[in-house]
């Protein structure tokens, strides 16, 4: 049986943790609440990498009132030195009566060790309350800390017949203004935005976050451009104050163009490949090396198809608009040879849906 009081305080802790979405990466989003005598005496969340962890922020607010209190925290206290000291040490010396932890930290340096350390010290520790909330909230940092590569989300604006653009490659605008505004919020929750060079050549996008709630969000922009076709006058190159631009290309691709892009402030990363394609697994590995824990893919159908066929996509956000585009030459989100039988088709799991204006947003996992 779930204790309703415990659940209510843990929900508060998760409400705090959610404030860190898009800000704490590559660290997880964590919230903490300290309760004594039925009153909240401390609370906090981890605001950014290098900043104090949630338990420390809450303890600083609680002060001496933490003694004899209960700590509710969404993730297991850490036991290792990183940019900040181990939280387990501070928790042990605070004099808590009880500790309620939602989920174990998947980081191999921590997993289970924080709980064992607290229990060995004689503290009353319970684990598992609302753990599913943590799995969804921290899906990106969890993948990053265990596998070293970012969590990959495909985003596409689609007509009812699954088209991303017409036969003339026109895509403005399939989704409504309200749905496009939501996508800027979605961009802000990620570390990087990835597109193929075809999208840059067709749309000349800025690939920035433009939303009143995120006026200064810096986003790493990633372009897959095997042959360095990125125009020197692309609007993307005028927005380097909004985040770095990384171009993945093949070795030996157009040396003169390479030098010109480098002078513009672009970083070029060489990746093995064949034909027009790059090794996307290597691309993700290189992004992981840079501390990028989450990538939103807005590139065209070719990029989406390559990621799906390589089994590298984790999640999808599809906005479905009440339009029928049709045409054999229209762009689909998933091309290639396709499935020979329905049982071989890609299936989305844990699908949820909600409405934004005239559009429906589908969210699911591969």
Residue 329: active-site member: no
The closest of 310, 311, 322, 295 to 157, measured between CA atoms, is 322
Structural tokens at position 285: 């590995």
Please name the helix (run of DSSP H) or strand (run of DSSP E) that holds residue 74, with its range, or none: strand 70-75
The closest of 195, 182, 188 to 222, measured between CA atoms, is 195
Residue 90 CA to residue 59 CA, distance in Å, equals: 8
Residue 246 CA to residue 361 CA, distance in Å, equals: 29
Count the alpha carbons within 13 Å of 86 in the hemisphere toward its beta carbon.
Answer: 16
Residue 258 CA to residue 262 CA, distance in Å, equals: 6
Structural tokens at position 333: 């989100």
Residue 112 CA to residue 14 CA, distance in Å, equals: 20
Residue 226 CA to residue 272 CA, distance in Å, equals: 9
Structural tokens at position 351: 């699908």
CB 303 within 8 A of CB 224: yes
Count the alpha carbons within 13 Å of 114 in the hemisphere toward its beta carbon.
Answer: 30
- According to DSSP H, which parts of 3-78 are helical? 4-17, 54-62
The closest of 44, 37, 113 to 70, measured between CA atoms, is 37
**55, 76, 139, 298: which one is catalytic?**
55
Using only C-alpha atoms, the chain has a radius of gyration, in whole angstroms, of 23
CB 46 within 8 A of CB 29: yes
* List of residues 6+ apart from 242 with CB closer than 8 A: 206, 208, 209, 217, 218, 219
The length of the chain is: 366
Q: Which residues are identified as catalytic?
A: 55
């Amino acid at each position: 049986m779930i204790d309703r009081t415990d659940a209510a305080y843990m929900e508060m802790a998760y409400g705090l943790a959610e404030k860190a979405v898009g800000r704490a990466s590559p660290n997880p989003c964590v919230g903490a609440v300290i309760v004594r005598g039925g009153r909240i005496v401390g609370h906090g969340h981890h605001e950014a990498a290098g900043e104090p962890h949630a338990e420390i922020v809450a303890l600083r607010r609680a002060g001496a009132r933490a003694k004899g209190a209960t700590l509710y925290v969404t993730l297991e206290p850490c036991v290792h030195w990183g940019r900040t000291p181990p939280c387990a040490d501070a928790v042990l010396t605070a004099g808590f009566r009880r500790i309620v932890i939602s989920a174990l930290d998947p980081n191999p340096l921590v997993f289970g060790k924080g709980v064992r350390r607290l229990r060995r010290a004689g503290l009353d520790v319970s684990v598992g309350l609302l753990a599913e909330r943590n799995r969804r909230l921290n899906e990106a940092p969890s993948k990053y800390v265990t596998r070293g590569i970012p969590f990959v989300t495909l985003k596409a604006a689609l007509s009812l017949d699954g088209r991303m653009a017409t036969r003339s490659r026109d895509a403005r605008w399939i989704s409504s203004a309200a749905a496009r505004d939501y996508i800027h919020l979605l961009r802000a929750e990620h570390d990087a935005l990835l597109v193929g060079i075809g999208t840059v050549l067709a749309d000349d996008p800025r690939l920035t976050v433009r939303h009143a709630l995120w006026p200064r969000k810096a986003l790493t922009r990633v372009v897959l451009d095997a042959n360095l076709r990125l125009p020197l006058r692309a609007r993307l190159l005028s927005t380097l104050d909004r985040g770095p631009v990384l171009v993945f290309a093949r070795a030996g691709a157009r040396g003169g163009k390479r030098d010109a892009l480098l002078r513009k402030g672009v970083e070029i990363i060489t990746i093995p490949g064949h034909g027009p394609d790059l090794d996307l697994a290597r691309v993700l590995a290189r992004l992981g090396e840079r501390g990028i824990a989450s990538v939103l893919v807005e590139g065209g159908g070719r990029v989406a198809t390559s990621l799906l066929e390589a089994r590298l996509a984790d999640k999808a956000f599809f906005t479905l608009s009440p339009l029928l585009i049709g045409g054999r030459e229209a762009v689909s989100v998933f091309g290639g040879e396709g499935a020979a039988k329905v049982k071989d088709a890609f299936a989305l799991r844990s699908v949820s849906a909600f409405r934004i204006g005239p559009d429906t947003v589908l969210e699911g996992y591969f």
